[in-house]
Structure 1
Amino acid sequence: MKLIFGNDLVVARFVADMTPGCEAGFGNCKAIGVGDDETGELVAGMVFHDWQPGPGLIQISSASKTPRWLTADVRHIMFSYPFDQIGCQMVVLQVSAKNERMVRIAKAFGFTPYLIKRMRGRDEDGYVFTLTEEDWRNGRFTRKTNG
């Protein structure tokens, strides 16, 4: 997988188009795309949006055409941006309770889940997940360095 930087609008539209209820897009955002090594086709994207510098919060949304995009390198870059580059203290992720795969992934990454009844409408619950900088740095998927 190849990371794609500098195409925020294209990647954000890709993610919005694949995310139910996100017709309006993400507004002012930063995005990282993931391209297929062989074809160069955009297969996944991460969008960082709703940045709140005061409390140090940012939301992340992602979508993909394949489950193979979430490699260790991609994971490292995905969380390096908010925690290392812009100084976030917490990342927020919203997920439909029906998206069992993403719920499992978020929990495995160390996000703390909060179930919100009807968050996605009258018949669909959702989770708000939070990941603090400390939980990320101490998590099992974080690259440990000697410095």
Structure 2
Amino acid sequence: MILWAEDENEAAKVAQWAALRIPHVSSFGPCQAAAVERHGRTAAVVVFHDWQDVGRSLQVSIAAETPLWASRATLAGLLRYAFVRAGAEVLWSAMPSDNVRAIKFNTGIGFKREAVLRRRFGPKRHAVITSMTRQEWQRSQWGNA
């Protein structure tokens, strides 16, 4: 079940749950956040942040206690938020290059590996950037869900 933050203060509180679990994040700034509950407990938090008007781009960050949070319906709803409600033309994510699980998850749901930013997360810790465009989402299983 997706529980959307009702306002900016609640979004900041929900996003803090994710920030505490993502080593390279201290806070997200202005954002929209959703908690994904499983069996009455927070299983994951998805934070949409870093909105850029010019390119209509939106960054997404995810922290999870278990991989079981990511049902098809949940993923479809979260991607629908980014492309329909927020109006993004591109949704992107940055993760450490040694976080193989996150990279595999993102590419597995249709994000394309786009770039590597050297030393973004410190010495010898590069960032892998993945993204999905509105058109890719529309043609995917998620755009038809």
Q: TM-score, normalised by structure 1?
A: 0.88
- Is structure 2 residue 136 aligned with structure 1 residue 127? no
**Distance of 1:14 and 1:94 partners within structure 2:** 18
Where structure 2 has 5 or more consecutive residues not aligned to the other structure, the ranges are none
Contact 1:109–1:136 (8 Å) recurs in 2: no
Q: CA deviation at 1:57?
A: 0.6
* 1:26 alignment partner in structure 2: 28
Post-superposition Cα deviations, 1:51-70, rounded to whole Å, max 9, x if no partner, equal 11232111000100001000
Where structure 1 has 5 or more consecutive residues not aligned to the other structure, the ranges are none
Q: Which runs of 4+ in 1 moved over 3 A?
A: none
- Is structure 2 residue 20 aligned with structure 1 residue 8? no
**Distance of 1:14 and 1:27 partners within structure 2:** 14
RMSD: 1.4
Identity of matched residues, %: 24
Contact 2:44–2:62 (8 Å) recurs in 1: yes
The range that moved more, 112-121 or 82-91, is 112-121
Report how many residues are paired.
140
* 2:61 alignment partner in structure 1: 61
State the secondary structure of the residue aligned to 2:63.
strand
Contact 1:94–1:128 (8 Å) recurs in 2: yes
Contact 1:44–1:66 (8 Å) recurs in 2: yes
Q: TM-score, normalised by structure 2?
A: 0.89
Q: CA deviation at 1:143?
A: 4.8
Q: CA deviation at 1:18?
A: 0.3
